[in-house]
Amino acid sequence: MTRSTIDQFNRRDLIRGAAMLGAGAALASPFGAFAQKGGFDDVRKAAEAGKEASVKRIRDWVALDSIAAENRNMPEGAAYMAELIKDAGFSGVQIVPTKGHPGVFGTLDAGAKRTLGLYFMYDVKQYDAAEWTSPPLDCRMVDRKGLGSVMIGRGTANHKGPEATFLAALHAIRAAGRKLPVNLVFLAEGEEEIGSPNFRQLATTPNVLAGLKRCEGIMMPTAMADLEGNATIELGAKGIIELELVASGEKWGRGPRKDVHSSLKAALDSPAWRLVQALQTLVSPDGNTPVIDGWFENVRPLTDREKALIREATRHSSEAQLKEALSFTHWIDNLSYEDAMIRLMQEPTVNIEGLVAGYTGPGGKTILPGRAVAKLDLRLVPNQTRTEAVGKLRAHLDKRGFNDVELNVSGGYDPTETSETSSLTRAEVATYRKLGVRPNLTPRLAGSWPGGTFTQPPVSVPVGRFGLGYGGAAHAPDEFYLIDSVNPKVAGLVDATMAHVEFLHMLVST
């Protein structure tokens, strides 16, 4: 959920553990030689012939902006997602209702011995068109120095571009007259960007659950590459809870129930200050460490192996480039780069996303607000759970007399963990190595996606994110996805498509 305005910096580069930026090992050979690596010349020819159709597929999909937070185009987004996978060869495609926005389910039976699950999202983040250099739904092609031709649009990087790239691989395999080496089970949701509040209901719908339990693993297509010929493999992800804390005169029984003149502060309590005081109890004075009662009692520290993976990743990345891209100069507590990355992976967080009360326009407006709202996100690590964390937050506030402060959870899910030795992870490592790409393993994504729904009962299968595409500015203005690369270390659309072809075939041999 991190926001970045750096055009050529992918927001997930930091929350992957900064394993991608900088001076990592280069490709064994440039992507110009990619076609000779895999032995799928016929599929590559089909992917090249279908490139314009693939570009159009991304452009048309981005033009339909399904935004769950605004309840915009949600039924239309699900219907469009269903048509996209039907066109790619899936059958039995269903739009599955939930308590919120619907999901999409389908299968592709290739008559294979092994089955891979796919997780997609069809929703995107909100946008302010005035902040963009080109309209966010137009998908204009722009040349980026040192990178190539990129498509600018909301959702191009997160995640319609990478997902459409996987679909392009299915089209290319079929156009080449080949059979898929694995069966596929597909599940997409429309609420990822609001914390997937109904995803567990979707995943445990009886026929959906039966399909997921047949899978050896579940993969989310993602732009996982960097500019130096590296790609990250995450062995997990932090969980998340998105919520609001609300202080109001109405619930408190003190202060005004509506905005009043600020001169009355001498005689009236302030709900805004009430909220500030409640927030101050949640973290240490520097704001960096949660102090919610019992918050750390179930936290699993990183293992020595996990710390070693982080140290190895930092050796193949550039701290200076990362600091420049994110416009900061010091880590928390002036930690070293290595220690900051370990802390990034290890620590749960309490973050204020937004804080609103009263008037926030130009100049002053002398009022005493009757209501104040803080939007928070809480990142969770193994072995924390959403249920535990929400309960502890409520109890913490109540114990300190803030029973009146409302706690409204809008979404969230538990952390994700996948074994380094799982067949899915081994296939990812083997695919990247075969293609001359350095695989950087990291213990977990410091951000979040709802993979924990799959790794926990009743599904209980490993998960991972895979892809050689490159994009950036997700959740930010001028979000982009690379189509034609001029950097020999970075895959354009066709090469990223072929990486998925390689991965699908690698699954049957690991």
Q: What is the pLDDT of residues 277-298, one digit of tens each?
A: 999 999 999 999 999 999 999 9
Q: Is residue 305 part of a domain?
A: no
Residue-wise pLDDT tens digits, 468-500: 999 999 999 999 999 999 999 999 999 999 999
pLDDT digits (tens, 9 = 90+) for 7-21: 333 433 443 333 333
Is the pLDDT reported for residue 171 higher than 50?
yes
pLDDT of 4 strictly over 80:
no
Is 157 within 8 Å of 32 (Cβ atoms)?
A: no
pLDDT at 325: 73
Domain check: are 43 and 131 in the same one? yes
Question: How much is the average pLDDT of 424-439?
Answer: 95
Q: Give residue 10's pLDDT.
A: 40
Give the model confidence (pLDDT) of 363-410 as tens digits: 999 999 999 999 999 999 999 999 999 999 999 999 999 999 999 999
Tell me whether residue 339 is in a domain: no
CA angle 482, 484, 488 (to 5 degrees): 95
Same structural domain for residues 101 and 213? Answer: yes
Q: What is the CATH number of the domain that holds 294?
A: 3.30.70.360
Give the domain range for residue 89: 12-236+416-507
Q: Answer whether residue 59 shows pLDDT above 80.
A: yes
Q: Are residues 215 and 144 in the same domain?
A: yes
Provide the pLDDT for residue 26: 33
Tell me which of 389, 413, 437 is where a domain ends.
413
**Residue 372 forms beta bridges with which residues?**
247, 357
Which residues are CB-neighbours of 12 under 8 A, at least 6 positions away? Answer: 222, 445, 447, 474
22 plus 154 within the same structural domain: yes
The pLDDT of residue 99 is above 50: yes
CA atoms within 13 A on the CB side of 487: 25
Predicted pLDDT of residue 160: 98
- Plot region of 89 (φ>0 → left; ψ -120 to 50 → alpha; else → beta): left
CA 374/CA 359 separation, integer angstroms: 15
Question: Cβ atoms within 10 A of the Cβ of 176, count?
Answer: 17
Domain match, 21 and 121 both = yes
pLDDT at 162 over 60: yes
* Same domain flag for 127 and 177: yes
CA 150 and chain centroid, separation: 20
Which pLDDT value is given to residue 2? 34
**HSE value, Cβ hemisphere, 13 Å, CA-based, for 198:** 16
Domain annotation covers residue 129: yes
Residue 322 has pLDDT above 90, yes or no: no
Residues 276, 176 share a domain: no
What CATH number does residue 66 fall under? 3.40.630.10
State whether 422 and 477 are in the same domain: yes
Asked if residue 336 is part of any domain, the answer here is no
> pLDDT (tens digit, 9 = 90+) per residue, 404-428?
999 999 999 999 999 999 999 999 9
120 bridge partner residues: 188
Shared domain check, 177 and 129:
yes
Average per-residue pLDDT for the chain: 91
Say yes or no to pLDDT of 33 above 60: no
Express each pLDDT in 259-268 by its tens digit: 999 999 999 9
- Structure confidence at residue 13 (pLDDT): 40
Torsion from C-alpha of 36, 39, 45, 48, nearest 10 degrees:
-60
Q: Indicate whether 260 belongs to any domain.
A: yes
Does residue 321 belong to any structural domain of this protein?
no
141 and 199 assigned to the same domain: yes
Q: How far apart are CA 191 and CA 121, in angstroms?
A: 8
Same domain, 30 and 141: yes
In a domain, 310, yes or no: no
Domain boundary among 358, 379, 413: 413
For residue 327, tell me if it sits in a domain: no
- If one counts the domains in the chain, the total is 2
Residue 72 to residue 289: CA distance in whole angstroms: 36
168 and 93 in a common domain: yes
Domain boundary among 364, 394, 413: 413
pLDDT at 145 over 70: yes
**Residue-level pLDDT at 395:** 98
| pTM given for the model | 0.88
